[in-house]
Amino acid sequence: MDPRGFPTTLPEFQCVFPDDGACARYLEKLRWPDGFACPRCGHTGEPYRFPKRSSVVLRCRACQRNISLTASTAMQSSHTSLSMWFWGAYLVTTQTPGQSALQFQRQLGISRYETAFQMLHKLRAGMVRPERDAIGGQYPVEVDETLVGGRTRGEGRGIHHKATVVGAVEVRRRREGEDRAATSHQDHAEGKPLKRMKYAGRLRLRLLAGRDADGLTAFVKENVTHGSVVRTDGWQGYDGLPTMGYLHEPLVLGGNPDIADAHLPMIHIVFSNLKTWLLGTHHGVSQQHLQAYLNEYVFRFNRRFYPMTAFNSVLGLAAHSIPPTYDALYTGDWIHPAA
Ligand SMILES: [Zn+2]
């Protein structure tokens, strides 16, 4: 369980969402944290619940209207059960790397591939919206570009359609106290990996036609806060950054990959993991769909410390966006007795 009460293991998840009823109560609690209020007539008394049905509908006792708990969510009008959707959202947002439709179908035990494909498609739709707020500010930002892809299916040997992807990632530092804790770890020489002092903050990725200055500087301008420290390699495409108001820190000794890695460690790790994910999970991706996959990667990356935010987003629950109420899962009276 993470500090905010979100299940971080499959057994915990099973405990929190054991059945469709528990999922329905979660949806209800998220939408009406202070108790049901009819969206039609404003009535605030307890609604009527249908004990025999799969409980996605509540009926207002005053105006007798039915209110669907899944309206305007990813689950709207679906024949798939709530618990299946919840499992799916959990897998999509917490598994690294993300799921292919076939893996997804197998893990959930869904009989039809088409059902798995459509669920996955709807859950992913919540991930592919571009993130618009600028990164950087107090944090330095590493910017670099890489080639993604290569020989795609159906193309002959020697024909390469590589795509240029530019990325920007914040370099953050752990706080003082955490640094000390990390240092003390060094004393326990038990083969425990050392906690890194620096870690990657928010990420942005964009597909470009090439690595010319216009595309690169436009990307920085649209994604990185004006005035931020921006670290790049020595490529001339970034030469315009100082006049645009950035504190540019280019790598002066170009050519040596080791030196470049030391100057831009975070974005190189991001690129490496991105390529592994694209190849391993999706067996390569056509350029036509690459930006959507980049957005999905960015979505998961930026929420890796906030799994419940990601979980709610892919289910389309962000619209009802009440601050997280996962604690209620353990303190509220609506917990399934078995939990
Ligand atoms: Zn009503």
Could you tell me if 76 and 119 are in contact, meaning their C-beta atoms sit under 8 angstroms apart? no
Can you tell me the distance from the alpha carbon of 264 to that of 46, in angstroms, rounded to the nearest whole number? 57
Place of tokens 């990632």: 169
Tell me how far the alpha carbon of residue 43 lies from the centroid of ligand 1, in angstroms: 5
The pTM of the full predicted model, rounded to 2 decimals, is: 0.78
Could you tell me if 107 and 99 are in contact, meaning their C-beta atoms sit under 8 angstroms apart? yes
Can you tell me the distance from the alpha carbon of 185 to that of 166, in angstroms, rounded to the nearest whole number? 36
At 43-68, the pLDDT tens digits run 998 999 887 666 689 999 999 999 99
pLDDT at res. 6: 73
User: Which of the residue ranges 152-161, 173-182, 236-245, 308-317 would you say has the lowest mean pLDDT?
Assistant: 152-161
Q: At what angle do helices 82-94 and 113-125 cross, to 10 degrees?
A: 60
Tell me how far the alpha carbon of residue 40 lies from the centroid of ligand 1, in angstroms: 5
Can you tell me the distance from the alpha carbon of 217 to that of 135, in angstroms, rounded to the nearest whole number? 15
Tell me how far the alpha carbon of residue 77 lies from the centroid of ligand 1, in angstroms: 21
At 179-232, the pLDDT tens digits run 554 444 444 444 544 556 888 999 999 999 889 999 999 999 999 999 999 999
Could you tell me if 90 and 98 are in contact, meaning their C-beta atoms sit under 8 angstroms apart? no
Tell me how far the alpha carbon of residue 317 lies from the centroid of ligand 1, in angstroms: 22
HSE (side-chain half, CA atoms, 13 Å) at 44: 4
Tell me how far the alpha carbon of residue 84 lies from the centroid of ligand 1, in angstroms: 29
Can you tell me the distance from the alpha carbon of 83 to that of 286, in angstroms, rounded to the nearest whole number? 33
CB atoms within 10 A of CB 190: 6
Could you tell me if 276 and 283 are in contact, meaning their C-beta atoms sit under 8 angstroms apart? no
**pLDDT higher than 60, residue 329:** no
Tell me how far the alpha carbon of residue 121 lies from the centroid of ligand 1, in angstroms: 34
